[in-house]
Copies of this chain bind each other. A is one copy, B any other.
Amino acid sequence: MKFKPLEILTHIILILGVLLMVLPIWFSFATSTHDNVSIMTEGMKFFLGESFSQNYNEVLNEKGGWSEEVTATRMFVNSFIMALGIATLKVVISAMSAYALVYFRFKLAVPIFWLIFITLLVPLEVRIFPSYKIVSDLGLTNTYTGLILPLVASATATFFFRQFYKTIPDELLESAKLDGANSWRFFIDFLLPLSKTMLAAMFIFMFVYGYSQYLWPLIMTTDEKYWTVVMGMKIIFTENYEGVALPRTGERFAYIILSMLPPVLVVVILQRWFIKGLIQTEK
């Protein structure tokens, strides 16, 4: 199934696209291994330098913030916990809601699906003040629970799980019923294993979503112990302008590169599941 005449053109466009995406990351990494003086004088780097361990060590261990108490490592841990919690709960809750919507044929299933769908229109940014009020009334500011809980419902994930469940043939459920499976067993023994790929993909999306949250942790946390990576990013890019020393550009890039690692980790761990699923559904 090839459209030959277009192939060469496509290749060129795609290779350009790849460069466009990969080069900035490489530049950032290369620059993060140089010392601040050479970056200041010579600009971004393409080749590796020699300050790798110094820059990365400083970023990870130097204490910062207004109280000079929080390290970047701490922020990575916070972001990781938050993203992990959000992603896990989002996936679990969405999979179960979708199950209820597809397999329990009560009269309200369609209106309820629409209501869930409509909540897409009210992202966290819009409902951020009411959410803050509730969470603070519950005494959850400056806790991981408070960071995670208001973000665990996902209309998007529910929608995609629903569409996926609908492609599973009815006979599978019927056969499972005759084999003595109740509704809970059907979910555990059939839907979850069959939707492995979907689960992995959703987990990755939601992890990145949680990881890149900015506004919510900003509002939720007053204690620097709960600061996250993205918040830290703003800080390292602003606080240094106030100093008299050189802008610490090398450390900044080191911070950016480090901030990419947790999501990469998640993909590496989940990719086996994911690739397996992709190959099985391959045409």
| Chain A contacts to B: CB under 8 angstroms | 1-3, 6-7, 10-11, 14, 18, 21-22, 24-25, 27-28, 100, 103-106, 108, 112, 115-116, 118-123, 125-127, 129-130, 156, 159-160, 163, 166-167, 170, 173, 182-183, 201, 204-205, 208, 212, 214-215, 230, 233, 237, 256, 259-260, 263-264, 267, 281-283
Contact = CB atoms under 8 A, between A and B. Distances in A.
A3 to B, nearest CB: 4
Given A104-B7, A106-B10, A115-B21, A120 B204 contact: yes
A14 B107 CA distance: 12
A166 B104 contact: no
Contacts of A108: 11, 14
Given A156-B205, A214-B215, A104 B263 contact: no
Contact of A25 (B28, B122, B163, B182): B122
Nearest to A1: B105
A125 B214 CA distance: 8
14 contacts: A1-B103, A1-B105, A2-B106, A3-B183, A7-B104, A14-B112, A22-B115, A24-B127, A120-B208, A121-B267, A126-B233, A126-B256, A156-B205, A214-B214
A119 B21 contact: yes
Contact of A112 (B18, B160, B214): B18
A112 B10 CA distance: 12
Contacts of A281: 163, 166
A283 B104 CA distance: 13
A191 to B, nearest CB: 14
B10 A237 contact: no
A221 to B, nearest CB: 17
A130 B253 CA distance: 11
Contacts of A127: 24
